[in-house]
Amino acid sequence: MERTIETKTVEKKYDYESAFDQVKFEVDSLLSASPLVIRGYMKHLGASMGKFIRAASVITCAMDRKGQIAEKAVKMAAAIEILHLATLVHDDVIDNADLRRGAPTLQKKYGKRTAVICGDYLVCMALKLASSASEKSDVEEYRTLEIPDYMGRVCLGELNQHINSGNIDLSVRQYLKIIAGKTAALFEASFFSGAVLVEKERQTIHKYAKLGHNIGMIFQLTDDCMDFEETKEIAQKPVQSDYEQNVITLPLIYAFKNLADFRNKAKKQSLTRSEINLAVQKTGGLNYTRLVAQKYYVKSLKLINELDVAMEKENELKFILDKAYRLV
């Protein structure tokens, strides 16, 4: 009688630096190997990729006690980074942006129709990759990780922003709800999808998700300040342009709230950039926005301290937090 021996496949693992490099390699390979009809556009996007902060979030949260990261986490990190890229492509179409990360946007160079289709293709690519990563997982919690749901929240956040385009009466609470979707949801997905690979307790996993949410909020609020503070050369994208795109951000919301005459004038006619900058400076709109971001920062530090993780992982989580807050 012939005997068969079953062998269990051991998944490849990486240290942090190797995992991060592998994510970048994975994203570059996927973009470069796209079907010929779309490959040129994908290569254009690949030439100006960002800092991979969301990918770093996935692999950091997936780090085990020995500092090792499973291959499926690398796949998921690449998927989320590609999803993020898709949102940027669509954002640039909506905003009619010419520059992204120091290079011409896809819509500027090839047209809006091409950009929209390429953005849609990136979403499909990312979801396929995320699905392949979760299928290989024996972690029960992955069944509750629905990337389309997170993307749904991103889309609803973007839609809410569009609906409130130019809304002078937008409240602080309404604005925080908008950015909780359009920016924070993908950060939350990043932290959640990494945590489910190494954590067993649902409560702990949701602490990671909350941490991701907080960091996403910090990232957007700090970005709001950059629109007033940075130059186009430093930011590598248009600045002093949110209001001109009918996007009302927190520094300006605070100015409208505290200067009735300024708000009334905005309802009757367009404001000049100098008027906006002066009102934000006069009311302390940037300081207020930083204060809100700081509250999320303190909450984030508290969550990190509550997590029972190795020192290396704790340091990486704090580094991501500081990066979102632009401290590093």
User: pLDDT tens for residues 220-235?
Assistant: 999 999 988 866 656 5
The mean pLDDT of 141-147, rounded to a whole number, is 49
Q: Could you report the per-residue pLDDT of 212-268, keeping only the tens digit for each? A: 999 999 999 999 999 888 666 565 556 667 887 888 999 999 999 999 999 999 998
Cβ-based burial of 28 (10 A; exposed 0-12, middle 13-18, buried ≥19): middle
| Section 28-57 average pLDDT | 93
User: What local confidence, expressed as pLDDT, does residue 248 receive?
Assistant: 92
pLDDT for residue 4 is more than 80: no
- pLDDT of res. 270: 83
pLDDT tier at 149 (50, 70, 90 boundaries)? confident
Per-residue model confidence as pLDDT tens digits over 282-306:
999 999 999 999 999 999 999 999 9
Residue 42 above 90 pLDDT? Answer: yes
Higher pLDDT, 188 or 101: 188
Taking a C-beta distance cutoff of 8 angstroms, is the pair 127, 80 a contact?
Answer: no
For residue 85, the model assigns a pLDDT of 95
- Confidence at residue 135, expressed as pLDDT on a 0 to 100 scale: 55
Q: Is the pLDDT of residue 175 over 90?
A: yes
pLDDT band at 147 (very low <50, low <70, confident <90, very high): low
| pLDDT > 70? residue 143 | no
Locate tokens 């809100």: which residue?
292
In this prediction, residue 3 carries a pLDDT of 52
Q: Percentage of residues in the chain with pLDDT exceeding 90?
A: 70
Counting residues of the chain whose pLDDT is more than 70, the rounded percentage is 89
Domain coordinates of the chain in residue numbers? 13-324
Residue 314 has pLDDT above 90, yes or no: yes
Average pLDDT, the chain: 89
pLDDT value of residue 93: 93
Q: Which comes out higher in pLDDT, residue 83 or 239?
A: 83
**Residue with the larger pLDDT of the pair 145 and 177:** 177
- 154, 148, 144: which is closest to 130 by C-alpha? 148
What average pLDDT does the segment 161-190 reach? Answer: 95
Q: Span 50-58, mean pLDDT? A: 95
Residue 120 pLDDT > 70, yes or no?
yes
Report the pLDDT value the prediction gives residue 134, as an integer from 0 to 100. Answer: 65
Q: How many CB atoms lie within 10 A of CB 111?
A: 11
**The pLDDT of residue 131:** 82
Average pLDDT over residues 99-119: 93
What was the pLDDT predicted at 7? Answer: 47
Alpha carbon distance 40, 26 (integer Å): 17
Cα gap 206→224, rounded to integer Å: 27
CB pairs under 8 A, 24+ apart, for 196-200? Answer: 196/137, 196/139, 196/141, 196/142, 196/145, 197/62, 197/70, 197/72, 197/73, 197/137, 197/139, 198/61, 198/62, 198/63, 198/64, 199/141
Class of the CATH-defined domain 13-324: mainly alpha
CA distance 77 to 215: 17
For the cut 50, the answer to whether the pLDDT of residue 87 exceeds it is yes
Quote the tokens at residue 305: 């301290």
List of E strands, the chain = 13-14, 69-70, 99-100, 103-104
